[in-house]
Amino acid sequence: MFQAVLFDWDGTLADTKAFVVAAFQRVLRKNGWEVDNELIERCMGIGPRNTLKEALCVIDVAFDDDLIHRLEAEKVAVQLATTPSVRLFDGARSLLDALQGKVKTALATMSNRPVIDQLLAEKGIGAYFDLVLTFDDIRRPKPDPEVFLTCAARLQCLPEDCVVVEDSVFGVEAAKAAHMSCIAIPSGSYSREELKATGADRVVTSLTATRELLAFILQE
């Protein structure tokens, strides 16, 4: 049985693809730039700054840290105004409820802290987590394992006693680099085949596969 479950947020617990893409596109278009939605979708998981850098590189726009930080702040403002559009995936709340009192739980997301704090409060699920780490709490975003290793240390668990629940190849890569087990769910922008090829230990259809998820996590 694992001692801790570390959840990603975007595309894993919450259906945020349209929410995230719309925020980035609104900021980019405000500045006269245009990128394909798919580029942003495929960058979900690497953090807002790296997503902005990828977008600007593709359209050959020069940037510096000041520009990236300004665009990031604008993106956060857009998201804070539109959080009611986000919904939890079916099965998310029931899975979190089933894990209560059995394992420690953490949220390890590359979204910004103000956005996550507002979403957790709105959706009424903040109390499920023993720890919440965001992009603003770390130095190196996924696929670097820092966020997962930090979670394990703060929860006082060994990495091998943790299991990560993710939807992106970046998250799976980070989990495996941290020497953690990983359950992947193709509910974001990556297919079952891509997630499995990246090293996921188990790929499940959705969070509604509660029995399968609990059997893997609790080793029942």
Given the residues 8, 10, 15, 167, select the one marked as catalytic: 8
Cβ contact 111:86 at 8 Å: no
**CA angle at 150 for the pair 124 and 158, rounded to the nearest 5°:** 105
Among 63, 142, 8, which Cα is nearest to 27's? Answer: 63
Residues 111-125 have pLDDT tens digits of 999 999 999 999 999
Cβ contact 184:66 at 8 Å: no
Q: Which pLDDT value is given to residue 51? A: 98
Structural domains in the chain, sorted by start = 4-15+86-218 (3.40.50.1000), 17-84 (1.10.150)
Q: Which pLDDT value is given to residue 151? A: 98
Among 164, 159, 193, 198, which Cα is nearest to 179's? Answer: 159
Q: Residue 12 — φ and ψ, nearest 5°?
A: -110, -65
In the chain, which residues have pLDDT < 70?
Answer: none
* SS3 call for 101: coil
Q: Is 36 a catalytic residue?
A: no
Q: Which pLDDT value is given to residue 74? A: 98
143: preceding bond cis by omega (within 30 degrees): yes
105 CB contacts (<8 Å, ≥6 apart)? 4, 5, 6, 7, 96, 99, 128, 129, 130
Continuous segment of H or E residues that includes residue 96: helix 92-99
Q: Which pLDDT value is given to residue 188? A: 85
Q: Could you tell me the CA-to-CA distances from 52 to 45, 55, 57, 64, 65 in Å, in that order?
A: 12, 5, 8, 11, 11
DSSP, res 161:
G
* SS3 call for 181: strand
